């Protein structure tokens, strides 16, 4: 074997390091060149990321908007609401999607109130989906009973409290298996926030949040896995998004609303829940509202807005052209785009709410100057 001298070894290591560093230097260069090449095609790219709940609608919007404005390429990745808020705080995306409004800490992290703006886009309902053999008609629930079920206090389908809500339905003597989202999700946030308004014990022991500690049941990742547990297990009950339940033909129940009526979730009943959201303006002017347990005879009680979050002053986007492209896209989403919402079983915004959101959109600026409505925007219907 050859004996190697130490200096030679060090020299070689240095050379190797130089190669690595050199390669590292070249890569970003090529990336910059590539984006420059794209920009010359007079194309604006808008990146968004965040909540998974509206992802399928936002992706549909991307496709449809491409037809209306071929020079603007929008992109949305469903990485979770928290990830979206981190991304907009770090300015790595043009807009973020979130199922929950910004928290106090998140507002402080970005430099105080009024730096970011929340714009409600559509609303959605969360439904109790179940698998009870021999029951054909939709079951009736109240928030209190659902809270008891998810705390393990109501453990059988023929429990008197359930029987009382469902006269004439033959409920089997079958154990209830609650199924929940084990990953962090806006769905859990809406579900627990609603149940906490209906049961003090639930509020004290389980609390609210994107992820909570459940005392009973089984967990699954995402809507598909919760739906799988429900459809595969007799006696299971799980909470999933209404459009997911409808798309996959999973039976779900009606829930008693604040007016005392049992309402099944649908784009119409969720839209009814949004109508009174901003009747009383907030002191800080933010367009955020908890619409669970809202008033109205036809309002579905377990509903929530999903928001797009942008900077109030869009100087983070680099050019006025990009800022205009973003506001045009959002304006289109709130007008033309709403049509696709009900098609895909999301609830479109109530017309009064929509006017208010469009007003907030018009108030966005670029380097302090208001953005003019440009001609590429399709006229509102």
Partner 1 sequence: MPTPPTTPQPGAATAARAGAGGRSRPWGDVVLGSLSTGAAITIVLLLAMIVLIVVVSAWPSIKAYGLPFLTESTWRPNELEETLRDPQGRIVYDDDGEPKTVIEPASFGAAPFIWGTAVSSALALIVAVPLSIGAALFIVRVAPRLRIAEPLGFLIEFLAAIPSIAYGIWGIFVLRPFLEKHLEPALRWLLGDLPFMRWMFFRTLADGTEVPIPLTGRDMLAGGLILAVMIIPIITAVSRDVLRTVPRAQVEGVLALGGTWWQSCAAMLRYGRAGLFGAVMLGLARAAGETMAVTMVIGNVNQISLSPLAPAQTMSSLLAMDAGDPNNPLHFSSLFYIALILLVMSLVFNVIARWLVVGSKARTFGS
Binding site for partner 1 (CB under 8 A): 2, 12-13, 15-17, 19-20, 79-83, 152, 155, 175, 177, 182-185, 192, 200, 203-214, 217-221, 228-229, 232-233, 235
Q: Which is nearer to partner 1, 218 or 335 (CB)?
A: 218
Helix/strand/coil for 252: strand
Residues in the chain: 381
Q: Rounded to the nearest whole angstrom, what is the least distance from the CB of residue 372 to partner 1 in the complex?
A: 37
Give the strand order in the sheet containing 140-141: 140-141, 254-256, 262-263
Question: Closest separation between CB of residue 82 and partner 1, Å?
Answer: 4
Which C-beta is closer to partner 1: that of 137 or that of 221?
221
Q: Where are the beta strands (DSSP E) in the chain?
A: 44-50, 72-78, 95-98, 116-130, 140-141, 177-181, 218-220, 236-241, 254-256, 262-263, 303-311, 365-366, 369-370
CB 282 within 8 A of CB 288: yes
Between 15 and 29, whose beta carbon lies closer to partner 1?
A: 15
Q: How far is the CB of 194 from partner 1 (least distance, A)?
A: 15
By beta-carbon proximity to partner 1, the closer residue of 95 and 329 is 95
Identity of the residue, 83 or 253, whose beta carbon is nearer to partner 1 in the bound complex: 83
We find the least distance from the C-beta atom of residue 242 to partner 1, in angstroms, to be 21
CB of 26 to partner 1, least distance (A): 15
Which DSSP string corresponds to 164-199?
Answer: HHSTT------B-EEEEE-S--HHHHHHHHHHHHH-
21 vs 36, which CB is nearer to partner 1?
21
Task: Please state the closest distance from residue 196 (CB atom) to partner 1, in A.
Answer: 9
The sign of the torsion formed by the CA atoms of 353, 358, 359, 360 equals positive
Show the tokens assigned to 7: 């200096």
CB 71 within 8 A of CB 42: yes
């Amino acid at each position: 074997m050859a004996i190697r001298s130490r200096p030679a070894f060090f020299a070689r290591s240095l050379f190797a390091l130089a190669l690595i560093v050199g390669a590292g230097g070249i890569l970003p260069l090529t990336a910059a060149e590539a984006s420059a090449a794209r920009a010359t095609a007079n194309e604006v790219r808008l990146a968004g990321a965040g909540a998974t709940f509206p992802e399928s609608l936002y992706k549909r919007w991307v496709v449809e908007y491409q037809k209306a404005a071929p020079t603007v390429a929008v992109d949305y990745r469903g990485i979770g609401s928290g990830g979206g808020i981190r991304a907009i705080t770090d300015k790595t995306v043009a807009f973020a999607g979130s199922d929950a409004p910004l928290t106090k800490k998140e507002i402080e992290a970005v430099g105080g109130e009024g730096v970011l703006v929340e714009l409600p886009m559509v609303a959605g309902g969360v439904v109790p989906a179940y698998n009870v053999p021999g029951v054909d008609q939709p079951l009736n629930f109240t928030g209190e009973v659902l809270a008891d079920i998810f705390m393990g206090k109501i453990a059988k389908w023929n429990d008197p409290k359930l029987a009382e809500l469902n006269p004439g339905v033959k409920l089997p003597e079958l154990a209830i298996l609650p199924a929940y989202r084990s990953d962090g999700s806006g769905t859990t946030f809406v579900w627990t926030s609603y149940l906490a308004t209906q049961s003090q014990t639930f509020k004290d022991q389980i609390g609210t949040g994107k992820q909570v500690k459940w005392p009973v049941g089984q967990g699954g990742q995402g809507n598909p896995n919760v739906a799988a547990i429900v459809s595969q297990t007799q006696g299971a009950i799980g909470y999933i998004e209404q459009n997911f339940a409808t798309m996959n033909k999973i039976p779900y129940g009606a829930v008693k609303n604040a007016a005392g009526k049992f309402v099944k979730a649908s784009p119409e009943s969720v839209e009814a829940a949004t109508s009174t959201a901003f009747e009383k303006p907030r002191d800080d002017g933010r367009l955020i509202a908890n619409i669970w347990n809202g008033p109205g005879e036809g309002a579905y009680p377990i509903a929530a807005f999903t928001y797009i979050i942008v900077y109030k002053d869009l100087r983070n986007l680099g050019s006025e052209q990009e800022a205009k492209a973003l506001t045009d896209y959002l304006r289109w989403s709130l007008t033309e785009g709403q049509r696709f919402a009900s098609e895909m079983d999301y609830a479109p915004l109530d017309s009064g709410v929509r006017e208010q959101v469009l007003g907030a959109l018009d108030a966005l600026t670029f380097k302090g100057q208001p953005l003019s409505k440009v001609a590429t925007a399709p006229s509102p219907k």
